[in-house]
Chains A and B, each alone.
Chain A
Amino acid sequence: MKKNWWKALAVVLLLYVAVAGLLMPVPRLAILNESIRNLYFHVPMWFGMTFILVASVYYSVRYLRTPTPELDILAHESAKTGILMGVVGLATGSIWARYTWGAWWTNDPKLNGAAIAMLIYGAYLVLRSSFTDEQQRARISAIYNIFAFATAMPLFYILPRLTDSLHPGAGGNPAFAKYDLDSNMRLVFYPAVIGWTLLAFWLAQVASRLSLLKQKVYEKQLA
Chain B
Amino acid sequence: MKNSLPKLRPVLLLLLGLVLPVLRAAAQATSEPEMADTLRHDGKIYVVVAVITVVLAGLLFFLISLDRKLSRLEKEVKE
Which residues of chain B are within 8 angstroms of A10 by Cβ–Cβ distance? 60
Whether B67 contacts A7 by the Cβ 8 Å rule is yes
Number of interface residues of B (CB under 8 A): 34
How many angstroms from the CA of A14 to the CA of B28 in the assembled complex?
A: 24
Question: Known contacts being A15-B56, A34-B35, A206-B63, is A23 close to B77, with CB within 8 Å?
Answer: no
A181 interface hit (Cβ, 8 Å): no
Q: Which of B19, B21, B32, B34 has the most CB of A within 10 A?
A: B21
Number of interface residues of A (CB under 8 A): 35
Whether B52 contacts A18 by the Cβ 8 Å rule is yes
A220 interface hit (Cβ, 8 Å): yes
Of A1, A34, A191, A206, the contact of B66 (CB 8 Å cutoff): A206
> Taking CB as reference atom, which chain B residue is nearest A30?
B33
B38 interface hit (Cβ, 8 Å): no
Which residues of chain A are within 8 angstroms of B21 by Cβ–Cβ distance? 20, 24, 184, 187
A123 interface hit (Cβ, 8 Å): no
Kindly provide the distance from the CB of B50 to the nearest chain A CB, expressed in whole angstroms: 9
Which residues of chain A are within 8 angstroms of B18 by Cβ–Cβ distance? 12-13, 16, 20, 191
> Taking CB as reference atom, which chain B residue is nearest A36?
B35
Whether A8 contacts B11 by the Cβ 8 Å rule is yes
Whether B60 contacts A11 by the Cβ 8 Å rule is yes
Whether B25 contacts A14 by the Cβ 8 Å rule is no
B5 interface hit (Cβ, 8 Å): no
Given contacts A34-B35, A184-B21, A184-B25, 19 further A-B pairs with CB under 8 A are A13-B18, A15-B15, A18-B52, A19-B19, A19-B49, A20-B18, A20-B21, A20-B22, A23-B22, A23-B25, A23-B26, A24-B21, A24-B22, A24-B25, A28-B33, A187-B21, A213-B73, A217-B77, A220-B77
**Contact sample, A vs B, 7 pairs, CB 8 Å cutoff:** A9-B14, A14-B56, A18-B53, A20-B18, A24-B22, A28-B32, A209-B70
